[in-house]
Structure 1
Amino acid sequence: MVGVNAKFIVFFFLAFAIFYVNAHIAEFDEYWKQKAEQAKKIAHDAYDPHPELVTEQLNEDVGILLSGKNSTRRNLYGKNKGGPCKSTNPIDNCWRCDKNWASNRKKLASCVLGFGRRTTGGLKGPYYVVTDPSDNDMVNPKPGTLRHAVTRRGPLWIIFSRNMVIRLNQELLMTGDKTIDGRGADVHIAGGAGITIQFVKNVIIHNIKIHDIVVGNGGTIRDSWNHVGFRTQSDGDGISIFGSSHVWIDHVSMSHCTDGLIDAIMGSTAITISNCHFTRHNEVMLFGASDSYSGDQLMQITVAFNHFGKGLVQRMPRCRWGFVHVVNNDYTHWLMYAIGGSQHPTIISQGNRFIAPPNEAAKEVTKRDYAPQSEWSKWRWRSEGDVMMNGAFFVQSGKPLKKDRFTRHDMIKYKPGTFVTRLTRYSGALKCVVGRRC
């Protein structure tokens, strides 16, 4: 752990030059230097030296829910939509069976599992109601707009007064301790720039649709209640997580962005991506900034209960460095490969369903880049309980999980990929109606 920290500190300061290029910060002033230092410390504190224990806990929660030990099991899989509850996995089971969810919105903050499990978003703050979908003033955003909400001081739980399509004129720079909660409205972030979570902590993005995101031209943009800075051109990511920790993305539908749907880079960690639906995109998720940036070895991400659907090509995810738990996702479409990486990331794939495309050259789930077999054979990429269909196959490497020196006991029995259609049945943004179970 000491060695990891030392390397991270060295590369953090060497990376200032990279920040200028990749962070889209035209002037790395004292404000941004202070935020970067704070973010680095938070990432160190968030790093779990025993990540396998986090994967065990998630597997145990799924097992309890599906074994009948949970009292709500009889309500999980009702055949008709008028049934008492539509909860299908342990995250949803935490809140979706409450018909009074609109009065108890903040219950959601206690439901996250995996590496982002300590994320509470705007739990400790008041509600902020977005009433205006416009985004016309980047420096002094209009009260009632989403840009005004996410740049306010202190925790906020942000909700929406009605259905709306928000076209962001420039990237939406969020401050920490915020929840964007789209339940009860049909909210689209579309046709403009995407969301940037940079050098902050504690963000929840829940139940919105993000699609058709384009590159922002940059310019003078407010990035907090007390700072305005000049930004270079943004990449066109749907959600960009840069040097940030404690982030939870849940029940988000995403498609067709200029760059990635979700990127997590430059020392970001303690992240859970769950219950999302991804469609119509080439490079879906990138975890890790570059092969040369070893600061991403602190990265720990859970990808759970998501549906990777029609029109996807690759990177579900593509990983550099770090530790990624890919559990109980449904991979029904890809054109090139599903899970890839370089620079010895640890990838634990458990209980997923992989349905390979008809192309005989694309049956392999995995892809390793920029390394000979003599090197990548040492990377830990393990598959347990995955269902392989239509000729799909996962090339494993590295030590078996049960022999891991960090594991205090054997991996708890997870649910195999045959359960995935149940666990991911309601992935993506939900149509939640006030007064009814969501």
Structure 2
Amino acid sequence: MSGLVVFLCLVFFSTGNPIDDCWRCDSNWEANRKMLADCGAGFGRNAVGGRDGELYIVKDSNDDPENPVPGTLRHAVIQEVPLWIIFDHDMEINLKEELVMSSYKTIDGRGFNIQISDGPCICIYNVSNIIIHNIYIHDCVPGGNAVVRDSPQHSGLRGKSDGDGISVFGARDIWIDHCTLASCYDGLIDVVFGSTAITISNNYMFHHNEVMLLGHSDDYLPDKNMQITIAFNFFGDGLVQRMPRHGYFHILNNIYTSWEMYAIGGSANPTINSQGNVTKHEITEEGEDWKQWNWRSEGDLLLNGAFFTTSGEETPASYMKASSMVARPAYVIISSPPTSGALYCQKDKPC
């Protein structure tokens, strides 16, 4: 049945966004929640999350970092088996410490207004196969120097956290989709310490300075093979800068509005394949090393003074490693902007 639903979506409701075309027209999405795991695209397309596990229903918004209570989000994410985590009512969850996750988990907020805010937020640390979907994450602050449980059998003292909305550290096969993120102490989404195979898609981000840190240090060589897809996102009001460092980045069909410094920037020789965006590229580092970096703009629509400076040698091998799916022409997303951020999904209706 799920294959038929996918086919009907592609035939009758195709937007060119392969993720949304895969599942959003299914009026029975609530019963078919796990179908989402088969709709991934880009470098994070193999993230299955908790597809092969049971549903876990979060009923309690309270948080005990050291001894999580069953029915809470923290209790769900530390379990050692795959879980597809859903909610039974609108919730604003104020975490007392970082939410440390174990592998093979999906946090699926569809159907309710689920917010994680006004405390430390999500930490994806040395794990794999995580899907974060349809959550509003905002006003995150540092935490740490506290005992936090990271499995049913273990708790330990964690150092101070940065105050990111979502921190991805030494992880792989990660997919962050249809979330809304704003106003965090540090980054909205930081991907560091050799994390790779990641897709950041269909998110709405606003009111923040350093939006995404992709690679934590110019000198950290394990980041050089990082592969990240950034697709179909809406970068809204009050954003200042975004900075890929090492690695290979496929940046496609995003809309950037009201940027202040730059939309796509870089340091430490990243390969950036920018396709079908409305964007600006600006080099802020001194010197001329950047002229050797492989940066390509293809089909980007540059409006209101935006510009993109290509550089390096456009070698097929380099851009093959920085390509993850087919981009739509930029004029298409201008005429039909993406529906980004957390969605209002109602039972028995297409999402």
TM > 0.5 between the two?
yes
CA contact (8 A) 1:329 1:424 kept: no
Query: Residue 368 of structure 1 is aligned with which of 283, 303, 321?
Result: 283
User: What is aligned with 1:319?
Assistant: 244
CA contact (8 A) 1:91 1:112 kept: yes
TM-score (norm 1): 0.75
- Cα deviation code 1:62-95 (max 9, x no counterpart): xxx9xxx98745435xxxxxxxxxx661100111
Is residue 2:320 matched to residue 1:392?
A: no
Query: Residue 115 of structure 1 is aligned with which of 31, 39, 43?
Result: 43
Q: Which amino acid aligns with 1:292?
A: D
Question: How far, CA to CA, are the matches of 2:346 and 2:214 in structure 1?
Answer: 34
Question: How far, CA to CA, are the matches of 1:405 and 1:146 in structure 2?
Answer: 41
Question: How far, CA to CA, are the matches of 1:239 and 1:343 in structure 2?
Answer: 23
Query: Residue 23 of structure 2 is aligned with which of 88, 92, 95?
Result: 95
- Cα deviation code 1:163-211 (max 9, x no counterpart): 0000001110011100000001110001111100000000000001000
User: What is aligned with 2:56?
Assistant: 128
* Ranges in structure 1 where 5+ consecutive residues have no aligned partner: 1-64, 77-86, 355-364
Give the aligned length.
345
CA contact (8 A) 2:241 2:259 kept: yes
Deviation at 1:325, TM superposition (A): 0.4
Query: What percentage of residue pairs aligned between the two structures are identical?
Result: 51
- Cα deviation code 1:251-303 (max 9, x no counterpart): 00000000000000000000000000000000000000101101101210000
Q: Which amino acid aligns with 1:75?
A: F
Is residue 2:207 matched to residue 1:292?
A: no
Is residue 2:312 matched to residue 1:428?
A: no
Please tell me the root mean square deviation across aligned C-alpha atoms, in Å: 2.1
Question: How far, CA to CA, are the matches of 1:319 and 1:142 in structure 2?
Answer: 38
Q: Which aligned pairs between 1:21-36 and structure 2 lie closer than 5 A?
A: none
CA contact (8 A) 1:276 1:305 kept: yes
Relative to structure 1, the CA distance from residue 311 to residue 322 in structure 2 (aligned partners, 3 Å threshold; closer, same or farther) is same
Q: Which amino acid aligns with 1:330?
A: I
User: What is aligned with 1:357?
Assistant: none
Is residue 2:344 matched to residue 1:416?
A: no
Q: Which amino acid aligns with 1:127?
A: L
Q: Which amino acid aligns with 1:436?
A: K
Query: Residue 189 of structure 1 is aligned with which of 108, 112, 116?
Result: 116
- Cα deviation code 1:3-42 (max 9, x no counterpart): xxxxxxxxxxxxxxxxxxxxxxxxxxxxxxxxxxxxxxxx
Question: How far, CA to CA, are the matches of 2:320 and 2:263 in structure 1?
Answer: 27
Q: Is the partner of 2:75 in helix, strand or coil?
A: helix
Q: Is the partner of 1:341 in helix, strand or coil?
A: coil
TM-score (norm 2): 0.93
CA contact (8 A) 1:275 1:424 kept: no
Q: Which amino acid aligns with 1:383?
A: S
User: What is aligned with 2:277?
Assistant: 352
Deviation at 1:423, TM superposition (A): 6.2
CA contact (8 A) 1:353 1:418 kept: no
